[in-house]
Amino acid sequence: MDFSDYIVYVDESGDHGLVNIDTQYPIFVLAFCIFKKSDYLKTVQDFQEFKFNHFGHDIVILHENEIRKDKGVFKILNNPEKKSGFIRELSDVVSQQEFSVISTTVKKDILKNSYRYDNNPYHIALKFCVEHLFNFLIASNQQKKIMHIVVEQRGKTEDRDLELEFSRICSNGNFKGMKANFKMVMANKQSNSTGLQLADLIARPIGLNCLRPEQENKSFEVIKEKMVNNKVFPDNKKPL
């Protein structure tokens, strides 16, 4: 098979529901981490070494929410000095990796009140990210090859809906008159995928930068150097 030299790992920040919107975090972020496969092999090794150094094994899954709240295996970080060192070293590891980021941040509060069409934040974000990914592949002369997009399983119904929407986007999206050779791979939540963990680590900082751009955000400073597209939707408060 003529597989792409690249692979994509996807994660999100925030929920995509519009019924009860969290006023402290009224957004949904979808982040695509794009790796050249040869670079990804080094990333896996670097993350494994980081885990061995801090935990003595590589079974631990780096989850942004648990790290931030000192939950589970990360309860060892409840010492401020130790946590600061851990975060600093993790940021250094992320900074040293070669990958590109495409993201979409959906402002759910504005979307709910003004958008008259399909208002599923996940579907909207996925469409923008996939179409921008295709542009990235054209620039890399990879658009004719089979590209795998790895996402985390969320539940039987949600996964089925996502696969249907992904298929619809691949059939009807804006791909400049060409065929999109994307294949979605569903990964179990317990899979120890370095790519998915990295995508999880970067999604929330992107969202926080959108919400409070004036606030110090060291994690985003690392991420922005790797961003090729950072879409915010809707980008104004006018009726759509």
- What's the average model confidence in pLDDT over 149-176? 94
Domains, the chain = 3-39+98-233 (3.30.420)
Alpha helices (H) along 117-212: 121-139, 156-172, 194-211
Note the pTM of the prediction, 2 decimals: 0.94
pLDDT for 53 beyond 70: yes
Give the C-alpha separation, 147 to 137, whole Å: 9
DSSP structural state of residue 237: S
Residue 118: per-residue pLDDT: 60
pLDDT band at 170 (very low <50, low <70, confident <90, very high): very high
